Amino acid sequence: MYRSHTYLLLGLISVALVACDSYEQDEFVPEVVVESYLVAGEPLPEVRVSVTAPISSRYTFENFGVEGANVIVNLLGEEGGVEESYSFVEESRGVYLPAEESAVVQPLRRYALEVRVPDRNDVVRSQTLVPGHFEMDTVSGDTIVYQSAVQLEARITNSIYPGRKSYYLFTIEAEDTLNYGLTPFYADIIDEDDGMSKSDLVRNSSGITNENDFTRHGDGTLSLKLPWIGIAFYGPNTIIANAIDDNLYDFKRSQMGGSSSPGEMDNLLDHVENGRGVFGSMVRDQLTVFIAEPEE
């Protein structure tokens, strides 16, 4: 009887082990990284081209920037054909500037990036559709007392993005960090010993909002109160509203989200063929407000 037990157990173990599949860890392979942010109404921006570095390497962009790349940005027509083609020249290692400075990014137009890197056969490609134009104004005045009853409120005309609602990112940039100090929350969390300094807080970004987060008015405009947490410095601050394209939306949301397991971050979502990175576009408007320190 005990022999039959043994055979049975061995049989069960065998079934389990035979069913084993393999899922091996892959190895590091350098990939081309492209980065460029088109802003509607502004000249074509630089395109940065680099390769990924092994995790154990000392990293500087200069060390991993790609020399001798052939960089082209095409303005596409409605049918997808090339309407205009803009070539780029290498300004420094890995940094490419438009050969002609006169080209201006147009809203609601599609641009295509093509990068050819020496010794690589695959062309790195990406496309972006630039969001539609919008304007921003403030309805809460030019000066606001920090954490007072009157909160910074921005009013915008809605940007258009074909096929979906508009997504926005707000950036708040302190204009005078020499003469004005940090707001209490940031003053307390800043830890110079831990590598965090005031300069890290000069430009703050909100999470992604969409037009459903705004109050919609009868004239079609939208308004949104900006949370106090976005204000890191007293004094003059520039509020920049950015309507972003799909590439930036995916890039930023994957930067902010990802795995819920501790210590793990998923790879960022990108739309780059034969490489990685971001070829994004946005349209933006800005205004300046003065954040006054509340009286004691």
Partner 1 sequence: MGAAQGAHGQAQQQSSISGYVRDAESGETLIMATVVVEGTTIGTAANNSGYYMLTALQPGSYVFIATYIGYQPLRKEIELAPGEEARVDFALLPEGVMLEEVVVSAEADEEEERTRIGTTRMSTRQILQMPAILEADVFRSLQLLPGIKSSSDFSSGLYVRGGGPDQTLIMLDRTTVYNPTHVFGFFSTFNPDALKDVQVYKGGYPARYGGRLGSVIDVYNKDGNRQQMAGRLSIGLLASRASIEGPVGPGSFMLALRRSTMEPLLAALRETEEGIPDKFYFYDLNGKLNIDAGKNDRFSLTFYGGSDRLGIVPAEDLSIQMMYGNRTGSLNWTHIFSNRLFSNFTFTGSRYFSFPKFKFGGTNYDQQNQVFDFSAKADIEYVPNGRHAIEAGVWAGNLILKYSETFDESAEFSSRIASQYASAYVQETWRPTYHWMIQGGVRANAFSEGGFVRLEPRFSIERRQNERLRFQAAYGRYYQFLTLITNEVFSGMDVWLTTADGVPPAWGDQFILGVKTALGKAYRLDAEVYYRTMEDLFELDPNLGNVSGSDYEDLFRFGDGYAYGFELMLEKGIGRLNGFAGYTYGNSRRRFAGYNEGRFYPPKYDRTHEINAVANYDLSRRWRVTAVYSYATGQAYTRALGRTQYEDPFTSNPADEIINGRVNASRLPAYHRLDVGFTNMGRFLGLGDYELQLQVINVYNRRNTWFYTFDFEENPVRRETVSMLPIVPNISFTLTF
Q: Is 55 in the site for partner 1 (CB under 8 A)?
A: yes
For partner 1, give the closer residue by CB, 11 or 77: 11
Q: Do residues 131 and 109 lie in contact, with contact meaning Cβ atoms separated by under 8 Å? A: no
For partner 1, the binding residues in 233-272 under the rule CB under 8 A are 242, 249-250, 252-269
**Residue type, position 24, single letter:** E
For partner 1, give the closer residue by CB, 72 or 232: 232
Q: Is 20 in the site for partner 1 (CB under 8 A)?
A: yes
Q: Site for partner 1 (CB under 8 A): how many residues?
A: 93
What token pair was written down for 150?
A: 């009157």
Q: What backbone torsions phi and psi does residue 15 show, to the nearest 5 degrees?
A: -55, -45
Q: Contacting partner 1 (CB under 8 A), which of 37, 111, 161, 234?
A: 37
What token pair was written down for 211?
A: 């037009």
For partner 1, give the closer residue by CB, 82 or 196: 196
- Minimum gap (Å) between residue 82 Cβ and partner 1: 26
Q: Do residues 49 and 115 lie in contact, with contact meaning Cβ atoms separated by under 8 Å? A: yes
CA separation for the pair 23, 254 (Å, rounded): 25
User: Within a 10 A sphere around the Cβ of 42, how many other Cβ atoms?
Assistant: 13
Residue 36's nearest CA partner among 69, 63, 59, 60 is: 69
| Segment interacting with partner 1, rule: CB under 8 A, options 28-36, 99-107, 118-126, 132-140 | 28-36
For partner 1, give the closer residue by CB, 53 or 292: 53
For partner 1, the binding residues in 199-228 under the rule CB under 8 A are 199-205, 207-213, 225, 227-228
* DSSP codes of every residue in 150-178: S--EEEEEPP-BTTB--EEEEEEEES-TT
Q: Dihedral (C-alpha) 257, 259, 265, 268: value to the nearest 10 degrees? A: -50
- Minimum gap (Å) between residue 76 Cβ and partner 1: 23
For partner 1, the binding residues in 73-132 under the rule CB under 8 A are none
Q: Is 35 in the site for partner 1 (CB under 8 A)?
A: yes
For partner 1, give the closer residue by CB, 30 or 77: 30
- Minimum gap (Å) between residue 33 Cβ and partner 1: 5
Q: Is 189 in the site for partner 1 (CB under 8 A)?
A: yes
